[in-house]
Structure 1
Amino acid sequence: MNRFVVISGCSGGGKSTLLAELGRRGHGVVEEPGRRIVREELESGGRALPWIDGPAFVRRAVAMALADRAAAESHRGWVFFDRGLIDAASALQHMTGEPALETLARPHPYHRRVFLTPPWPEIYGTDPERRHGLDAAIAEYERLLEAYPALGYEVTVLPKTGVAERADFVLGTLAR
């Protein structure tokens, strides 16, 4: 059984908050590659940003997601990823037409159960690292709803509940 579990879905849907709660409960967590890249690029004056050079940004996200998977091998028990390789490969495929889901994502599987946060307009917000609007976030969510099952994953859409209830839901689903 694969211990690497992806929490993905719509931007602004509460993924990072859920991962923080799972980490607080003692599980391994991996921060979203995109957020880390944006912070690094903004600090260094780089151009691999989604609003400047989308393909360069997602290529960095692919590389970071692969490195994250390798680093997570040392963790015991569940390791929860805030997005990851499949999200980056899906974005790369969407932007460039490259068959990234097959060539990059399929050889590096995660747990068969993937959790997606649905669009949640009431909590959605932009910030210096997330500049895209809700429409772009929903379009990405819809692509992910297709990409994960196409690769054989079972998608569970998370309920719009509080963070503790969401964490209980994830852990309870994995325990079954």
Structure 2
Amino acid sequence: MKTKKIVLTGGPGSGKTTLIKFLEKEGYKVMHEISRDVTLEAQRQGIAQLFLENPILFSEMLLEGRLKQFQEGCSINSPIVFYDRGMPDVTAYMDFVKVHYPINFSEICNKNRYDHVFVLPPWKDIYEQDNERYESFEQAEKLFHFLKEGYLKYGYTPHEVPVGSLEERAEFILSQF
């Protein structure tokens, strides 16, 4: 059985992680977002916002972690694995902050392919800033467009998930394949 690798992406505060947790509770295999872990580890080492202070190092760590998740997902015996963000998110964020990244970032994204990409639009009613989410809602809206364009750049066709209840969003995604 070939496992379908499904990415959920979108700007900060769009409901991705809540939706991933809902899908997991419904019995689906998931790979959780790792950027908060990377950020918290850097903060323990005295770096307040690693992405802002050293975007290349932060992005290398994220890309390495997401590649590892991708490889783990390939070996899971399940019809579907959902990923809370994918490897192309890394280059999209770098494009957003206008930082040049090594060519191997794009090579990794091109070589390791997901089956479907779903992008969640900005949703002001649920958006919250916190210790790891430093972007404003306006920045989240811009990031949404960079993420969508970032996946298009790698030949994906991102499907936009309508705003709605967790059940409605999950149903929309599951009805696409």
Q: 1:52 to 1:97 in 2, by over 3 A?
A: closer
Q: TM-score, normalised by structure 2?
A: 0.88
3-state SS, counterpart of residue 122 of structure 2: coil
* Coordinate RMSD, CA, aligned: 1.9
Asked if 2 retains the 8 angstrom alpha-carbon contact of 1:30 and 1:80, the reply is yes
Q: 1:23 to 1:7 in 2, by over 3 A?
A: same
**Deviates most, 138-147 or 85-94:** 85-94
3-state SS, counterpart of residue 170 of structure 1: helix
Asked if 2 retains the 8 angstrom alpha-carbon contact of 1:28 and 1:78, the reply is yes
Deviation, structure 1 residue 104 = 2.1
Asked if 2 retains the 8 angstrom alpha-carbon contact of 1:62 and 1:89, the reply is no
3-state SS, counterpart of residue 146 of structure 2: helix
After superposition, the C-alpha distances for 1:130-173 in whole angstroms (9 at most, x for unaligned) are 11212222222111121212222111111110111111111111
Runs (5+) with no aligned partner, structure 1: none
1:108 aligns with 2:136: no
Q: 1:58 to 1:47 in 2, by over 3 A?
A: farther
1:149 aligns with 2:152: yes
Deviation, structure 1 residue 44 = 3.7
Select the residue among 120, 124, 127 that pairs with 2:127.
Answer: 124
- Give identity over the alignment, percent: 27
Runs (5+) with no aligned partner, structure 2: none
Q: Which amino acid aligns with 1:87?
A: D
Deviation, structure 1 residue 40 = 2.1
Deviation, structure 1 residue 100 = 5.4
Asked if 1 retains the 8 angstrom alpha-carbon contact of 2:56 and 2:101, the reply is no
Q: Which amino acid aligns with 1:161?
A: G
In structure 2, the residue matched to 1:28 is 29
Q: 1:74 to 1:46 in 2, by over 3 A?
A: farther
Asked if 2 retains the 8 angstrom alpha-carbon contact of 1:59 and 1:92, the reply is no
Asked if 1 retains the 8 angstrom alpha-carbon contact of 2:122 and 2:141, the reply is yes
Counterpart Cα distance in 1 of 2:62 and 2:39: 10
Deviation, structure 1 residue 101 = 5.8
